[in-house]
Amino acid sequence: MKTASLEKAVEDLFQAEKNVRTLPQFATEFPDFDEDKAYDVQELLIDKKCREEETGISGWKLGLTSKAKQQMMGVHEPSYGVLLKNMSLDEGQTHSIDRFIHGKLEPELAFIFKEDIQGPHITAAQIIQSTAYVLPAFEVIDSRFEAFKFTLLDAVADNSSSCRYILGNQMLPPDAVDMSLTGIVFRKNGEVMATSTLAAVMGNPASAIAWMANKIAKRGQFIKKGQVVLSGAITQAVHIEPGDHFSAAFDGFGTINVNFKAGE
Ligand code: OOG
Ligand code: MG
């Protein structure tokens, strides 16, 4: 893939999000696309969004952390993306879906870091030691690709389908939480959509973040003090429609809520 095509991929993704429209998958359009190039596109896209939307980086997100999703994509490791300050939405409020192409919601455990943590030899135990607190969160994922269908490389270029994130306000120190057995119940309009435990995220969400800290070190990057990291979906993602109310009850934390509407 030539530099010109990397730039075109960045521009296409940026415009698709801005104009709320979809794109054909890249992998078919750019035959020599590989993982490094996909993360190059992601990095350039984040630079462009920071500039044009006058925002900054607030943290990171994991994707494809469950075995089921990895098998679906034919991969053995997760993916990551970058969170921006302007992706944050308030908990308990009603938010417009007008800027989403085909948004879906998923519950996640968020980690807030109290110190910098740099790979490539980070363990899950070190992730826990460097975490100030953990809290329930929702992620709104959205894909800039048609019909929410993509290859792993497409999704990486598309910042791992990131769109918005919503942090709860029930914080706990990480050593107060059982990182595998903590149960969650995810509801849409009062109906149970899924039940799960944190073990759904690679056995332990801290392991997913350790993988990411080591992976981003290859690109000279690290998790910084104060940053938020979404550790990956605990259940399947559920399509968002106007008028929807979602809740996720996290054992030992409490319940996080959000509503969506059409219009501003
Ligand atoms: C969609 C985003 C995945 C998660 O938590 O698993 C994600 C994708 O890249 O498949 O955010
Ligand atoms: Mg997610």
Reduce the DSSP state of residue 51 to 3 states and report it: helix
Residue with structure tokens 């003090």?
Answer: 225
- The model carries a pTM of 0.96
Name the token pair of 54. 């006058």
| Closest C-alpha residue for ligand 1 atom 7 | 63
Name the token pair of 212. 């990411």
Residue with structure tokens 């709320």?
Answer: 20
Residues forming a β-bridge with 246: 188, 258
Ligand 1 touching residue 205 (CB < 6 A): no
Question: Distance (Å, rounded) from C-alpha 79 to C-alpha 231?
Answer: 11
> Residue 23 carries which DSSP code?
B
Ligand 1 touching residue 155 (CB < 6 A): yes
| Spatial CB neighbours of 213, under 8 Å, sequence gap ≥ 6 | 117, 118, 119, 122, 127, 222, 223
| Closest C-alpha residue for ligand 1 atom 3 | 63
CA distances, 75 to each of 25, 69, 71, 151 (Å):
18, 9, 6, 10
Residue 56 CA to ligand 2 centre (angstroms): 20
The answer to whether 151 and 261 have CB atoms below 8 angstroms apart is: no
Backbone angles phi, psi at 15, to 5 degrees: -70, -35
Question: Distance (Å, rounded) from C-alpha 165 to C-alpha 157?
Answer: 19
Chain CA centroid to CA 219, Å: 19
Please list the pLDDT of the chain residue by residue as tens digits (264 residues): 666 689 999 999 999 999 999 999 987 777 788 999 999 999 999 999 999 999 999 999 999 998 878 887 888 889 999 999 999 999 999 999 999 999 999 999 999 999 999 999 999 999 999 999 999 999 999 999 999 999 899 999 999 999 999 999 999 999 999 999 999 999 999 999 999 999 999 999 999 999 999 999 999 999 999 999 999 999 999 999 999 999 999 999 999 999 999 998
Buried b vs exposed e over 124-148: b needs ≥16 C-beta within 10 Å? bebbbebbebbbbbbbbbbbbbeeb
Ligand 1 touching residue 160 (CB < 6 A): yes
Residue 250 CA to ligand 2 centre (angstroms): 16
| Closest C-alpha residue for ligand 1 atom 6 | 63
Burial class (CB in 10 A: 0-12, 13-18, 19+), 211: buried
Question: Distance (Å, rounded) from C-alpha 113 to C-alpha 209?
Answer: 11
What is the pLDDT at residue 2?
62
The answer to whether 150 and 38 have CB atoms below 8 angstroms apart is: no
